[in-house]
Structure 1
């Protein structure tokens, strides 16, 4: 019986690097990350980057703390980051999507972890991405406490990566914002977005492709690429200040599903939010997307934030104070609607 060539073991020594995983590059990335993470530290952090697990002590300022967690990615906005070779702000998007989500229940973001996966680790690119994550954590006031970098040859195309983020926050049990106290007559406020944030990018990329748009061309005084890639606004600090100033009945982060599908998530079943289209001006980016893609108005409101990144519901007597607080904090905000009793077969969000 003859043996095949494959029966004989390979006599050439193989290493993890030969298999496509560079341990030294991973070690260098960890060293690059440490000073970035250090800028985000809070007093409650006991151990951070480098250990098997990160330790975080819940502050004694909370009497009955409830932990609130959230996880998200940045979707196909990553494809444009690869195309444009822009990696320094995509990490801000990653943080924003999770911390804004937990914020709507009144939670203060405490710490954040990231997951960075790639086929071949490019240290410079990964450092830029995680630098953006650290910047996002600074904007949110939370600690970048740990994460995972996974180099997986064959899983991703060359020079591409994927991201996931995980945020944990805390809120006093009696101060959880659930929307349960919202009633007819309450006022709906809208806080401006910084752009498309991290939603609808599959449609945005399709519109760019069909319109043959020049991403380097001028768009209202900026390169179109800058407008499309503007990082997601992080609302944590101004909204936590607002929550501490007056009773906020409900908050809705306008992400996938747009205005139409996110506002109803905080409303009691018998209520509807009536939003006035003329209460705010839809930013030029969204008008361009609608025109270039021939996108129906309802589809726009179902896919994009249309210029409103966060919705706030307050009692009528608190509306003016809330707007003043937001403006003082540097936010652009408007009174965009009101809460009404919902009639039979009426949608929970009505655009008029």
Structure 2
């Protein structure tokens, strides 16, 4: 019997169709620095050396986690591409970097161009929104590794920042203010716990939730907020001493990553409200508050640290840019043996 790659589960023609479906979307994101993108063995990006005196490249890679399971179950694929971009670019802006280019990896057991192209098109839309070039990626059809409709995605981004403008938290001082910038939802963290709660309590993706204007499944697929444009505008007018992307680990684990060892973040827990969907998941699953604070962003997608005297002006500036923000705490001296964050 003659064997073929297609009989083994890999459809090369479907792969070609997939690339054709996404190529124009990717090309629409190209900055002038892109010399070559999708199609070659490697993409070429010429850093604009007129813009930087001592450029430092900043990179990040990430995925979307088990939020993908909900996307598969609901049958909606056009939002998770933004999640992938957001998880990567929101990391590198914590150093003050401008995202320059992005690459993605998509793997499935069976490639479905009509549905799966929406994922990469979502990546391209998000990249276009923040002027970041989608210059390449990998599409892998892997029968036997992924089953049914299962797939996984990963992303990789590179940005640049002037060496003497790197934001690293080293200038953070006692009494500096902590400003919390609103998340759009759970972003891409904590979904294994969310799914466990939904399964245990037999929740339906189509059911309504108090205070939420979408069915449960759609609300849980709200894409991760993209913060690069906001931070770019703030840097022109604001003395930012530190930026923390609030992902897995919550404020509890992520804010200390930018603090000097002698500093502690004192968070005023009631300075903002837990979003309705998060309250629903907490109450339904009987999740303790400490667990909530370590698993979820609790409505805060980004924390920035600024001098105390700049706090109100910075918060108002963020709100003028159509992004909700609150002054959620301050920097205090860290007693020996104390955690990096306390809630008051």
> What secondary structure, in the 3-state scheme, does the structure 1 residue paired with 2:197 have?
helix
- 2:115 aligned to 125, 134, 140, which one? 125
1:143 aligns with 2:133: yes
> What secondary structure, in the 3-state scheme, does the structure 1 residue paired with 2:95 have?
coil
Q: Deviations over 1:290-315 (max 9, x none)?
A: 11111110110000000000000000
In structure 2, the partner of 1:341 is: 333
Aligned residue pair count: 341
Distance between the aligned counterparts of 1:141 and 1:333, measured in 2?
A: 24
Distance between the aligned counterparts of 1:13 and 1:99, measured in 2?
A: 47
Q: Deviations over 1:92-111 (max 9, x none)?
A: 10010000000100000000
Matches within 5 A, 1:1-352: 12-59=1-48, 60-219=50-209, 220=211, 221-352=213-344
- Provide TM-score, normalisation by structure 2: 0.97
Distance between the aligned counterparts of 2:114 and 2:313, measured in 1?
A: 46
Distance between the aligned counterparts of 1:150 and 1:120, measured in 2?
A: 9
Q: Deviations over 1:164-185 (max 9, x none)?
A: 1000000000000000000101
> What secondary structure, in the 3-state scheme, does the structure 1 residue paired with 2:293 have?
helix
> What secondary structure, in the 3-state scheme, does the structure 2 residue paired with 1:299 have?
helix
> What secondary structure, in the 3-state scheme, does the structure 2 residue paired with 1:147 have?
strand
Distance between the aligned counterparts of 1:278 and 1:118, measured in 2?
A: 43
C-alpha contact 1:99 1:140 (8 A) present in aligned 2: no
Name the larger-Rg structure.
1
In structure 2, the partner of 1:6 is: none
> What secondary structure, in the 3-state scheme, does the structure 2 residue paired with 1:222 have?
coil
Distance between the aligned counterparts of 1:113 and 1:259, measured in 2?
A: 28
Unaligned stretches of 5+ in structure 2? none
Note the C-alpha offset of 1:244. 2.2
> What secondary structure, in the 3-state scheme, does the structure 2 residue paired with 1:225 have?
helix
Mean Cα displacement is larger for which, 151-160 or 333-342? 151-160
Distance between the aligned counterparts of 2:145 and 2:203, measured in 1?
A: 31
